[in-house]
Chains A and B, each alone.
Chain A
C-alpha cells in the first residue's frame, strides 16, 4: 500500500543517493554565532556572570550552605517558570499563576483540616482544582479568541478575591490552620518539602524536582510531537491548524500544565510552612514570566527553551540571596531584576535578528 502512495515526481535527474550536493551559498557561520542563536545561551552567560559577580562581591556565597539556599530560592521560582515558559512558547500568558499557587495550597489545607481527612485527600482535590483552573483559562482563551492577558487577568482577580474571602469565611482568619498534626502530613512533607544531605550541606528536595521537571520539559519540547505543536501554535496558530495540529488541545493542556506547576509549588508551601497566608502570591506571576523571558522565551510565542528559564530562575535566586549575603539593602533586588530583564530582552532581540537573518 505504501507504494501506491509514493510520490513519483517526474523530475529528470534526482541526485543519486549518497552524493550530497549543496546549495553552496551558505557560508558556515562561526561557532560562536551559531551557539548564540540558541535561546538558552544568552541567559547561561548571564547566569555565569551573576554567579561570578557575587562570588567576588559576597564571600559568604562561597559556602556550600549559601549555595543550597540560592538553589532552593531558585527552585521555587524555577518550578513554575517552566510551565509558564512552555505556555509562553505556545503563545499565551497566565497572569493567574501566582495566586493559583495559593488557591491550591488553601484548597488542600482547608479541605483536610475542616473535614479532618488524610492530607492526601486534600492534596488530590487541590490537584484537580488546579488542573480545572488551567483548563478553564485555556478553554476561555480558545473559545473566545480573547487575548490570554485579559482572560487570565480576570481569573487572577477572581482567585485573589476567592482566596481571601473563602479563607475568612471558613477559618475566620486570613491564614489557614496548622495541619502538621494531620494524617499523612509527614509523608507528604517528604515528597514536597524535605531536605537531604549532600556532603554536609542540606539541600531542599525542590531543587531535585526542579531539575527533573526541567529535563522532562526539555525532552517534551524538543523530542516529541507535542513539543512540535507547542512551537507551532505559538509561532503561527492558523498555519498550525491548517496542517492538522490540534491547536485547542495544545493550548488548553499548556494552561493545565501551569495548573500542575501551581499545585506542586502550592503543596511545597503548605508542607514547609504548615499554614497558608491567603493574601500571598500576588505579583509572583510576573516573576515567573520574567524568569521565562530572561530565559530566552519570546514574549510573542513560537521561540524559546525549557533550559533557558532554569538559568533565568537561577539568576533570580542568585541576585535575591546574593544581595543579602553581600550585606546590601534588599531594596536593590527589584532594581537589579529590572536591569536583568531589560538586558535579556535586548539580547533576545539581537539573537532573534541574527538567528533569522537572511
Chain B
C-alpha cells in the first residue's frame, strides 16, 4: 500500500480539484455527514457530554507525563501473565520486531484486525516484503487491501467506494458474478472467504484501543467480531499498540468507552469489546497457551508527550469524528485529507509521524472553522494545534514565508498598518492589492481568485468617523467598548454605524479606543504566534477594562479569538495575565448583547416579515457558542426566519484560507448560497463581517436572488425606536 501525499501546495491543489469532480464521493460524504450528526446526537441523549469530555481529557492528559511509568507497570503485569512486552522506538523497528517474531515461530500466514497503528508503520508492506502472507479481516480493510489502497477514514476505511466497485472487486477475487445491490450477499462472500484465512493463519495481529497499566490488559473495540477471531484462532498473537493508548486503570478505559462508539458511529457501544490479560489457553499452540507479544510503538510519541502544546494530540481516541464533521473532508475525502491519519488529527500527526514533507501542504488545508474541536470527545483544541503544526513544519524546514515576515512587521506597528490601509483606499480598488507587500496583509486579496466580488477599502474608516458618530448618552445605564476589527473599521463601517442608534436608545455609552488594532487572528492563522501575542497586548492596553462593562464586537472571528485565544496566548503572563483574562471575559457579540443584555423587545421593531435565512459563523456558533441569540433576534426584529440546510457549516472564507485554497472556498460558498436559495429566502443574514465579505461577494458574482447583510444592519433597518412601554423596564 502506498500513499502519495503531495509535497507542495500546487500539486495538492490539483489533487483537490480532481477530488471535487468525484460526484459519488461528495454524495456519499454528504449523506454520511447528515446521518452522523443525527445518530451522534441520539447516542448521547441523556448524557452530560461536556462533563464526559472533560473527564476523558483530564484522564488522558494526566496519563501523558507518566507514559513510561505506565509502560513499566503494564509490562510487569502482562509479562507475569505470560505475555512478552516490547518497546519499539521507530516504525521500522516495530515492523522488524514483528517479522522476527513471525520467523521465530515458523509463521507463514498472518491475519490482521484493523489497526491504525499498523497503518502508521506500513506494517503489511513490510511483512509482505519478507515473504509473509497477510490478510486483513475487517471488511473495509480487506476491501482496500485487495485494491492496494490506504484507508480513507479511520473508522470506515472503504467509505470512498461504491457497491459497484466492491462487487467488481469481489468478482475478481472469487471468480463469481456479484450483484452490487445485494450487499448482504457480498458480506457473506467476505465471511466465507475470510473464515478460511482465519483457520489457516499461524499468527494474528491486532491493535488495541486501551492498554490498561494496572493489570496489563489490552482492550479492543470492534463491531465485526474479527478482532476476537484474530486474537483467538492462531497460536501467535501480536498486538501493536501506540504508547498513547496506555491508561492507568479500568475506570479510565470504561470512561473512554462511554464516548468512543457513540462519537465514532453513533452506537451506544460497539458490538464487541474484548479485554485480554496475558497468554490465554490456546490448543493450537504446543504449550497449550497463546504466544502473546505486545509491542508498544514510540515513533515520536514519548517526545510529543513532553511538548507543552502538542502533547494534547496524544489524547486522541481515534473515533474519526474530526473528519466526519470537517467541511473540507466532506468535499475531498480522506485520501486527500490526511497522510495515514485522517481529518484534523491527521493534519497534526502527519508532521510528527510521517515527516514534514508529507505535512507541508496538507497542514495548510484548514479553515479554522472549529467543527472538529466541537465534536472531539477527548477535548483536543484541534484547530489551534493545526496552526501550531503549521509553525512546527516551517520551523523544522527553516522556512518563513515572505507573507509571514510582512505580517509580523506591519501588525506590530499599528500606525504603519493603518497608514498602509489608508493609502490603499486612495486607489479605490477592490481589496486586490497589487503591491507585493501589501498583498500579504489582512484584508488584501489576490484578484486572481475571482469567485466572489470584493468590496473596497473605505476612504473614511470607522475610526475617522467616530468623533461625528459617537452617540451622546446622558446618564448612561452602562458603558461599552466597541471593538471594530479590521473589517468593520476599514471595510464595513456602516455595520457598526447601523448599530449605534439602538445602543444609544438603550442608554449605552459607547467608546471606540483609537489604539485598538487588528485582533491578531490573521497572525495566529499564519502561525505567527509572537505577533498574535503582541497584537493582543496592544488591544488589551487600548481598553480600560475597569471602566467598561462590555467589549462589544460585530465580528464573530475577532470575538472568539479575543475570548478564547487571548487567555491562551497571554493568560499566564505575570504582568498582563489578569488583565487579559478580565478583558476576555467582557467580550460579547452583537446578537447576545441585544438579546441577553439589552433584552430588546419586539415592540421596538416594525415587522416586515421578510423571509430571512441565517448563516451561523463558525466563530460565533462554535467559537463563542452563541446559537439561539441571533435567530431569536431576527424573530424579535419582525423578520421571518427560515431555516436552511447546513446553516452552521463554514461559508468557506477562513481569512487567508480562501486565497490558499480558492477551489474549496468557492465550492463551500456555492453550497451555502444554494441552500439559502432553496430555502426561498429574500435576505441572508449573518453576524461576522468576514462571512458577509464571502457571502455577499458570492451572491453578487453569481447574481443570486437574495441580498446579504450583517445582522446589525438587518435589525437596524427594522428598528423604530423604543416605545414608552419598553422604557418602563429599564
A binds B: no
**B interface residues (Cβ-Cβ under 8 A, vs A):** none
**A interface residues (Cβ-Cβ under 8 A, vs B):** none
